Amino acid sequence: MGKIFTKPRSLTDQPTHYCPGCTHGIIHRLVAETIDELGIEERTVGIAPVGCAVLAYNYFTCDFQEAAHGRAPAMATGIKRVRPDLVVFTYQGDGDLASIGMGEIVHAANRGEKFTVIFVNNAVYGMTGGQMAPTTMPGQRTTTSPLGRNVEEVGMPIKMAELLAALQTPAYITRQTVIDPKSIRRAKQAIRRAFEYQLAGRCFSLVELVSTCPTNWGMTPVEALAWARDTLLPYYQIGDFKVPE
């Protein structure tokens, strides 16, 4: 009997530094499976963000660059413009992409840069210890919103997929989640599709993934999955927001 389940070839053997129950690990796996299935490991360049995934390159086997906070889309632009034959993806958190890197992501999307963005939205700054992010929910307590996010003061959480889908340039923009087996399967399909659009030279592609940060949410992994389902998903709706014609 052959093997029916194995570690993707594009993942290294190194144990990750992610907290128990963190969804970063699941998302890494989905990206690696996609790279394997498409047979693109040898021409893929990943870009690690500043955030909990800064060491993502320790877990992937392909070439990697490590970004400054928020600048991954500009770096991906640089790589893709001078080497259009390479497959390039950025892997970014919500603080990275929706706060400090808002300018870079909007303009890369609007230019229709042909790379893929894996956008991990966990509604908090994970790496720095759970500060408020632009994606933090109204009333959500974080270390810098100890009384809960006050939208009167800091506005509503930013829906990046919708914001980017409003641009007129063709793109593939979708939001998925990884909180249960069914959603993980859908997320995988979306990630694969995003890479396929890139491979076909079609368009910019971005997969937002509603994720959990049990550590900084102060929850068990199981509680965190339930909180994501009950609190995040009604606001961050799952679906394709833009698909190229």
Partner 1 sequence: MGKILMKGNEAIGEAAIRAGCLNYFAYPITPQSEVAEYLAKRMPEVGGVFLQGESEVAVGYMLFGAAGAGERVFTTSSSPGISLMSEAISYIAAAQLPVVFVNIIRGGPGLGGILPSQGDYFQATKGGGHGDYHLLVLAPASVQETAEMVMMAFPLAEKYRNPVMILGDGLIGQMMEPVEFPEQLRTAPSDKSGWATSGMATRGSRQRNLVKSLFLDPEALNNQNLLLKSKYDQMRREEVRYEAYNLDGDYRVLIVSYGTMSRVCRTAVDNLKAEGLEVGLLRPQTLFPFPLEAIRAAAGGPACQAVISIEMSMGQMVEDVERAVCGIRPVHWYGKCGGDVPTPEEVMDVVRGLLDGDR
Q: Contact positions toward ligand SF4, by CB under 6 A? A: 18-19, 22, 24, 52, 122, 126-127, 213-216
Q: How much helix, strand and coil, in percent to the nearest 5, is found in the chain?
A: 40, 20, 40
Measured distance CA(26)–CA(99) in Å, rounded? 24
- Nearest distance, CB of residue 199 and partner 1, angstroms: 14
Measured distance CA(223)–CA(229) in Å, rounded? 10
Q: What is the CA radius of gyration of the chain?
A: 17
Measured distance CA(213)–CA(124) in Å, rounded? 8
Q: Which does 53 bind (CB under 5 to 8 A by kind): partner 1, ligand TPP, ligand SF4, none?
A: ligand TPP
- Nearest distance, CB of residue 174 and ligand TPP, angstroms: 19
Q: According to CB under 8 A, which one of 21, 78, 138, 148 is a site residue for partner 1?
A: 78
Site string for partner 1, 4-43 (x = CB under 8 A): -------------------------------------xxx
For residue 52, the tally of other CB atoms under 10 A from its CB is: 25
Instruction: Give the binding range for partner 1 (CB under 8 A) out of 70-78, 148-156, 190-198, 214-222.
Output: 70-78
- Nearest distance, CB of residue 163 and Mg ion, angstroms: 17
Q: What does residue 203 show for φ and ψ, rounded to 5 degrees?
A: -165, 175
DSSP code for 112: T
- β-sheet bridge partners, residue 88: 45
Q: According to CB under 5 A, which one of 49, 70, 73, 93 is a site residue for Mg ion?
A: 93
- Residue 128 in contact with ligand TPP, rule: CB under 6 A: yes
Instruction: Give the binding range for partner 1 (CB under 8 A) out of 65-73, 142-150, 154-162, 220-228.
Output: 65-73
- Residue 94 in contact with Mg ion, rule: CB under 5 A: yes
Q: Which does 94 bind (CB under 5 to 8 A by kind): partner 1, Mg ion, ligand SF4, none?
A: Mg ion
- Going through 130-181 in order, the beta strands assigned E by DSSP cover 171-177
- Residue 142 in contact with Mg ion, rule: CB under 5 A: no
Retrieve residue 12's tokens. Answer: 């290294």
- Residue 208 in contact with ligand TPP, rule: CB under 6 A: no
User: Do the beta carbons of residue 209 and residue 120 sit within 8 Å?
Assistant: yes
- Residue 122 in contact with Mg ion, rule: CB under 5 A: yes
